[in-house]
Structure 1
Amino acid sequence: MSKDKVEEKGLVSEKSSREKMVSGSAWMTGGSILSRLLGALYIIPWMAWMGNQEVANSANALYTIGYTPYALFLNIATAGVPSAIAKQVSYYNALGEYKISQDIYKKGLQVMAVTGVAAAALMYVIAPFIAANSPTASLSDGTQVIRSLSWALLIIPCMSVTRGFIQGHHTMAPSAISQFIEQLARVIFMLAAVYLIRIVFNGEIVDAVTASTFGAFVGALFSIVYLLTIIRKKKPELDYNLAHSKNNIKISTNEIFKSIIKTAIPFIIIGSGITLFQIIDQFTFAPIMKTVSELTAKQIENSYAIAAGNANKLIMIVISLAGSMAITSVPLIADLLAKKKMKDVRRQLSDSIQLFFFIMLPAAIGMAVISKSLYTVFYGYSAFGTGILQLSSFMSIFLGLFVLLGSTLQAADQTKPALSAMGIGLVVKLAVQYPALSILGTYGMLVSNIIGFGVTVLLMLWAMYKMTKLNINFLLRRLLLMVLITTGMALIVFIAQKGIAIFFAPTDRFGALINMTISSSLGGIFYFYASLKTRLADRLLGSRVQRLRTKLKIK
């Protein structure tokens, strides 16, 4: 009996679903991590070429002021689309309705072309208003940077539709590779532009930042060319599926259009969650800090750059892990719902949460422990920057869980609870923002995020429990084991850092790099060994890990 036939009878559905989750997450995680690492590593030469640390921080603040509203417009134009398209395509493919899934892709391209133009035009027009309400010293500079990002919105929506269509076929590798290509092209362009403007021609800071942000357009261009090449290669397979489509379901083009919009809007709102929290920070941080502190406008700008820019670039590396798992789980859950396999849906949701904590806990806690060395390597030593990165690392767990739960709830047709949870979290964030900044200064911005996302995550978990009756005791036992292993890892890294600091000070870049590399490697080895020794990795990652444990003779 073929594997496909066995799966149809539900005999290995759990194994198949878990393997798809692990394999897909591996591809998307690899792509996301490489992309995020590139997006963080470029900052070292980028800031060095901008000028001294104060000038570089100002340039980074200007860059962040442009990118935060851009991320919101990008979410509005595209955020819901890959997941919405993937969900729809996977659903209809599971029913054998391949013609409908291809019609969804074609209609999605048309819709996104329109939304891309509209979003680009709107962002260009309101750029002065956004700049005027942001912590920047120059209105004209802020406007110029924000407008340079609007061009990317013309391409990225159609690119996102194509990614979603490919993901709907449970093929994650092209999406992961396209992310890497997009980031690589962007980084090469922006570094070349900054070097020419600042080092060769001694140009203005604002021009260098503008060229950097325009790199988003260049990266998107390279990415969409690659994706279209993949679609072209898949044409024989797509044509075969189309020829064998069941065509039992009749649905008009308008119905497809409505389906895409209806599915995408909640994904857009949830996908904009982190950016909406950041927009609140961008619009309220400077006014509140002027009221509750004695910091100058320049000090406020630099503090914002460190908290919203420097630390954020690093924690987004670990948050991308959650995004990768969410992207993978959406089509899998949609597929199981289409086949009315509710027990498998419950298993899939449980596996997603466990896999999240298995990867996210050591990544986030590890980053918090090595924060001094990590911050020094990227930005130069700063006690304030180190403290901000430590708190941001803990915050990343809440942000990552929000990304995962928001997407999986929507995939499980629990859109209303997901939206309600996020709305309540935003209200809590707004309510806590002023007192948190007043009492804790810049740290208060991060604390209000933790509280807001914490409320949202709890409400989402409750909604998930009500729907599936997840085995909470089982999840808590697994989580406790992960916490214990992570704690052991953190202690090893902490002790190793103290010992290495005697020979390599973590306050200069070279010493920090040596310190970080050795201590984090020791911690990683311990976590890897402990997860194999306790059989935790076997249960979460499957038979391949079990074979690896046997080869390594770990009993």
Structure 2
Amino acid sequence: MDYRRKPLQMKDTHHEKLIQGSSWLSVGSVFSRFMGLLVLIPWYAWMEERGNAANGLIQMAYTVLTLFMLLSTMGLPNAVAKQVAKYRSISEYQVAHRLFVRGIQASVGLGIVFSALLLFLAPLFAEAAGAGPALASTIRWMSPTMALFPCISVIRGYAQGNNDQPLLSFSSVVDKLLQSLYWVISAFTILKVFTGDFLTAVHQAAFASFIGLLGSLVVLLLYLKKDREKVEVQLPISLNKVEISTGELLLEALKEAIPCMLLSISVFVYPLIDQLTFIRTMAAHTNYSADQLMTLFALFRANTEPFVLLLAAVVSTIGLKKIPLLTKRAANKQFPEATRLVSNALQRSFYVLVPLGSWMILLAYPLNTFLYQANPLGSRVLIEALLMAAALSLFIVTSVLMQSFGQMALAVYFTLAGLVLKGILQLPLIELLEIYGPHSASIIGLSLSCALSFWKIKKEARINYKLVLRRLLLISVITVLIAALTFLVKQICYLWLDPANRWQAFSICLITAAMASGMYGFLTLKIRMVDKLVGTNKAQKWRRLLHIK
């Protein structure tokens, strides 16, 4: 195969190709969220009465791990992706290869340092969260994951810079699949075969993240072995006209990547604030025991998290599908087309968010029963969490839209404004609303960030929100009609199916989901709404397939 391709124009690579694989990456993200939800069904059932405590511990540990992961890479994967794409596009293969090698070397050091920090700081995080030694030991089981993660992230950044996004999606799928398998098998072995302690199972669930990363590393190493052939052909024909030190390369890239990292971190700072404030504040103002407080934390944060992340992943996947094209149009100052794409992105987001969020809220009780157990309080908290997930979804969409217009700095400031408001309201709302307080503070903080982003998007994209609002109104009317029918079907199902039984609750969810999605798809295709979102040709193809006139 001839790898000596002609240099591509910068406008086709540096701006577009770096985000071009968003669809592939989103597929991997949705799969990961879905697997994360499924694995909890047997896990929670086997834990029996310790299910909420186990969920709370593992959620707290993963929140700390995620924060350390983002801090350890410091935007390095995005930096490598951007610079590799940039210099390969102008046939400076030596520079791109040198950057990748130095990135790997830096990532090894970062992995060792942050793994050690996680190991030694675990008791401090546990004490701050009010969870004690059980959380500290769980976090420590994640230190091997921390050692491996930066190196894997840099390889993924290199693959993204080479525009090999399908590989990234596949490596993420392998990661989550192996993690889930180890999680379930270890839990079954410990709890059912040897009737061991629940904390041992929690520790192995924490260690499962390392097993998943090992599988992902194997996939990426096989990719690098295959990529070596291409590199060996391209290095001798490198133009070598650019003279730049590795330090300057990394500094140049990190200036662009660090704001992205800050936005990514902000999504995980919200649950971290909840983790550091809820148990301690409740302990100071209530008479709940330590076990009861951990159960309450699990109900509002750990048990709702899979639903929140799944909804946000689906909405952002559908809504942001055309972001690469929008980025290119905005960079080329083709503002009329960019405005149309912004409007389309918002409409696509609402098209998914409103009906899916409404269905999940309407079915909160059987959904909670299916995944965990029948619990009226857990169901009510899930409803509030889904409202927060709607705000989070819009926050993600608007933040990415602002980045597409080069408003990265403002996106960071708007995010910080929401976080500050969340921090100010957190303690008073916990004292006032108890278990409902943290999500209420998150909804208000995210809403502020979204409102500021909508204002700036309108100013930059010169978008007329009237069309978006009209489309939202139509979507809402259709959703209300289908929700009423769904509620009726749900109540009929209750006549012979018990929503407090796991598998009967699943049947209720399945029946209502099939009916609601079928009706929504039929109506939006029938009135040609889908045509405005995905294009007439694709919509017409779907109508022919479904025999809709």
Q: TM-score, normalised by structure 1?
A: 0.88
- 1:165 aligns to 2:158 (yes or no): yes
Rounded Cα–Cα distance in structure 1 between residues aligned with 2:421 and 2:362: 29
CA distance change for structure 1 residues 418 and 241 in 2, over 3 Å: closer, same or farther?
farther
Rounded Cα–Cα distance in structure 2 between residues aligned with 1:231 and 1:259: 25
Could you tell me which of 123, 129, 132 is aligned with 2:124? 129
Rounded Cα–Cα distance in structure 2 between residues aligned with 1:74 and 1:394: 28
Deviates more, 1:535-544 or 1:515-524: 535-544
Could you tell me which of 432, 439, 442 is aligned with 2:432? 439
Could you tell me which of 100, 115, 132 is aligned with 2:110? 115
Pairwise CA distance, 1:224: 2.0
Pairwise CA distance, 1:247: 6.5
Rounded Cα–Cα distance in structure 2 between residues aligned with 1:548 and 1:85: 40
Could you tell me which of 516, 523, 526 is aligned with 2:509? 516
Superposition pairs of residues 176-325 of structure 1, within 5 angstroms: 176-234=169-227, 251-322=244-315, 324=317
Rounded Cα–Cα distance in structure 2 between residues aligned with 1:75 and 1:213: 18
The alignment partner of 1:442 has SS state of helix
- The runs of 5 or more residues in structure 2 that have no matched partner are 1-7
Q: Given that residues 504 and 515 in structure 1 are in contact (C-alpha distance below 8 angstroms), is that contact kept between their aligned partners in structure 2?
A: yes
Which residue of structure 2 lines up, in the alignment, with residue 36 of structure 1?
33
Pairwise CA distance, 1:116: 2.4
Rounded Cα–Cα distance in structure 2 between residues aligned with 1:172 and 1:485: 36
- 1:76 aligns to 2:71 (yes or no): yes
Superposition pairs of residues 304-453 of structure 1, within 5 angstroms: 304-322=297-315, 324=317, 335-336=328-329, 341-453=334-446
Pairwise CA distance, 1:489: 3.3
Percent of residue pairs identical: 29
CA distance change for structure 1 residues 330 and 95 in 2, over 3 Å: closer, same or farther?
farther
- 1:501 aligns to 2:494 (yes or no): yes
Pairwise CA distance, 1:168: 4.0
Q: Given that residues 197 and 204 in structure 1 are in contact (C-alpha distance below 8 angstroms), is that contact kept between their aligned partners in structure 2?
A: yes
Q: Given that residues 75 and 254 in structure 2 are in contact (C-alpha distance below 8 angstroms), is that contact kept between their aligned partners in structure 1?
A: no
Letter matched to residue 191 of structure 1: V
CA distance change for structure 1 residues 549 and 338 in 2, over 3 Å: closer, same or farther?
same
Letter matched to residue 363 of structure 1: L
CA distance change for structure 1 residues 332 and 225 in 2, over 3 Å: closer, same or farther?
farther
* CA shift digits 1:60-111 (9 cap, x unpaired): 1111221111111122224745545445555556666666555544443333
Pairwise CA distance, 1:174: 2.0
CA distance change for structure 1 residues 386 and 333 in 2, over 3 Å: closer, same or farther?
same
Q: Given that residues 79 and 272 in structure 1 are in contact (C-alpha distance below 8 angstroms), is that contact kept between their aligned partners in structure 2?
A: no
Q: Given that residues 320 and 345 in structure 2 are in contact (C-alpha distance below 8 angstroms), is that contact kept between their aligned partners in structure 1?
A: no
Rounded Cα–Cα distance in structure 1 between residues aligned with 2:269 and 2:411: 15
Pairwise CA distance, 1:308: 1.0
Q: Given that residues 68 and 275 in structure 1 are in contact (C-alpha distance below 8 angstroms), is that contact kept between their aligned partners in structure 2?
A: yes
* CA shift digits 1:386-416 (9 cap, x unpaired): 1111111111111122223334433543121
Which residue of structure 1 lines up, in the alignment, with residue 459 of structure 2?
466
Rounded Cα–Cα distance in structure 2 between residues aligned with 1:299 and 1:257: 48
Tell me how large the CA RMSD over aligned residues is: 3.2
Rounded Cα–Cα distance in structure 2 between residues aligned with 1:493 and 1:320: 24
CA distance change for structure 1 residues 80 and 399 in 2, over 3 Å: closer, same or farther?
farther
CA distance change for structure 1 residues 454 and 105 in 2, over 3 Å: closer, same or farther?
farther
Which residue of structure 1 lines up, in the alignment, with residue 548 of structure 2?
554
Letter matched to residue 548 of structure 1: W
CA distance change for structure 1 residues 234 and 472 in 2, over 3 Å: closer, same or farther?
farther
Rounded Cα–Cα distance in structure 1 between residues aligned with 2:91 and 2:401: 23
The alignment partner of 2:440 has SS state of helix
Deviates more, 1:110-119 or 1:318-327: 318-327
Rounded Cα–Cα distance in structure 1 between residues aligned with 2:112 and 2:524: 49
Pairwise CA distance, 1:132: 0.7
Pairwise CA distance, 1:340: 5.5
Rounded Cα–Cα distance in structure 1 between residues aligned with 2:528 and 2:233: 43
Rounded Cα–Cα distance in structure 1 between residues aligned with 2:94 and 2:353: 39
- The runs of 5 or more residues in structure 1 that have no matched partner are 1-6
* CA shift digits 1:96-135 (9 cap, x unpaired): 6666555544443333333322222211111000011114
Rounded Cα–Cα distance in structure 2 between residues aligned with 1:490 and 1:243: 63
Rounded Cα–Cα distance in structure 2 between residues aligned with 1:376 and 1:211: 25
